[in-house]
Amino acid sequence: MNIFLIDQYIKDYLLNVLLPREEMDFAQCKVCIPLFGVKSFIRLVEFPDGRGIVLRLFPRRQRSLAHKLYLADDLLEKHNIAAPRIIDYEASFSRAHLAIIAEEYIAGDHVHQISLTNDVIQQIAQLISALHRIKSPTWGDIEKPGRGRFAQALMRKVAHRLRGIRRHSLANLDRRYLRSVRKWFLHWQSAFAYLPLYDLIHDKPNQGNLIFSADRQNVFLLDFATLQYGYKAKDLAQLYAEILSDDPSLIQKFEHYYFASLKEQEIVELRELYPFFHAYYHLSQCAINLKHDYNRKYKGLSLKSSFYNNFLFHWQELQDIIGEEAPNSAPHRTAPTG
């Protein structure tokens, strides 16, 4: 779909759907392409009263993603989670069979653009904690949770990432060591077999998905395409590594506020299970960076050349974690009784 057609569909949508509802004229608005992010199917619309909206277009093959974002917005609004709100959702617009989401625009700075003061860390901790307090007896996608077993799904993902590392590695990694890594992860399977409840997790709490308002009074989560029910430590592992830079002093401040809403047993459980997700995060980064490095070298893509160095960093982190946590040290869970 070319840019001309996209802009025509957007103008048609604004003229016939959104602007009549807002009682505004098209000539009063400014429509522009965002400077950052995926630009092809996104437009920014500025109203004369200072308000702004983000228009996201979803072709036929991605309409299910649009529906998931709409469900996520409804769920977050019910639980008062700070996030940009969807002000309109058109499941099927015009002859193009597009799904269109109109979302409020929030001006501010991403978390990596500001200093991690105690107040900032407190706000992040309280926002993530509020998200994780939303529970479900089943795991998985927010629309259709409960497919298969959580522990088995985790191990399938581990195996998939290890296959990717073996397939794309240029370092001739010792297969025996890769098998020992897989064995280490498998020892945790029983620990996740009987979790009583699952947490609503963002799954990508990185620097680009946390934005502070200009006055620093509010922090918002962005991008809910990956929202799902899982285990809270998965979010924490990425947040610690990418936002708190694995700095013990920053993590301690975060946990002071995050743990305030947890029961003592939940804190004990979290500390027991965290090493798995700490290692899982670095394993995923290894696989991602090796794949990018492979694509750059063998498919002629003009990607940055730092991917292999990133792989080496995360591979060393993974080895350090596994070295600290012997395979037989993983906590063992049994089926609940009674």
- Say yes or no: 22 and 113 in one domain: no
* DSSP H or E run through 334: none
Question: How many Cα neighbours within 13 Å face the side chain of 6?
Answer: 17
Least confident interval from 54-63, 210-219, 298-307: 298-307
66 and 166 housed in the same domain: no
* 303/204 same-domain check: yes
Q: Which of 105, 130, 146 is the last residue of a domain?
A: 105
Total number of domains constituting the chain: 2
- Asked whether residue 143 is domain-assigned, the answer is yes
Q: Look up the domain containing 17 and give its range.
A: 3-105
Do 218 and 69 sit in the same domain of this protein? no
Looking at the domain assignment, is residue 171 inside a domain? yes
Q: What is the pLDDT of residues 194-236, one digit of tens each?
A: 888 999 999 999 998 999 988 888 999 998 989 999 999 999 9
Locate 93 and state its tokens. Answer: 């617009």
Domain end, chosen from 105, 135, 162, is at 105
End position of a domain, from candidates 57, 85, 105: 105
Report residue 217: phi and psi, to 5°: -90, -20
Q: Do 128 and 269 lie in a common domain?
A: yes
Angle between helix 233-242 and 264-298 (nearest 10)? 60
Is the residue at 335 inside a domain?
A: no
Query: Residue 336: inside a domain, yes or no?
Result: no
pTM here is: 0.89
Closest CA to 83 of 178, 179, 177, 223: 223
Residue range 14-50, pLDDT digits in tens: 999 999 988 888 888 999 887 655 556 889 999 888 8
In a domain, 338, yes or no: no
| 154 and 247, same domain (yes or no) | yes
For the cut 70, the answer to whether the pLDDT of residue 332 exceeds it is no
Q: What is the DSSP string of 240-298?
A: HHHTSTT-HHHHHHHHHHHGGGS-HHHHHHHHHHHHHHHHHHHHHHHHHHHHHHHHHHH
Q: Dump strand ranges (E) for the chain.
A: 30-32, 42-46, 52-58, 86-93, 98-104, 108-110, 135-136, 140-141, 198-201, 210-213, 219-221, 228-230
The region of weakest confidence among 165-174, 254-263, 286-295 is: 165-174
DSSP 62: G
Q: Is residue 179 part of a domain?
A: yes
Is residue 337 assigned to a domain?
A: no
Task: CATH number of the domain at 10, please.
Answer: 3.30.200.20
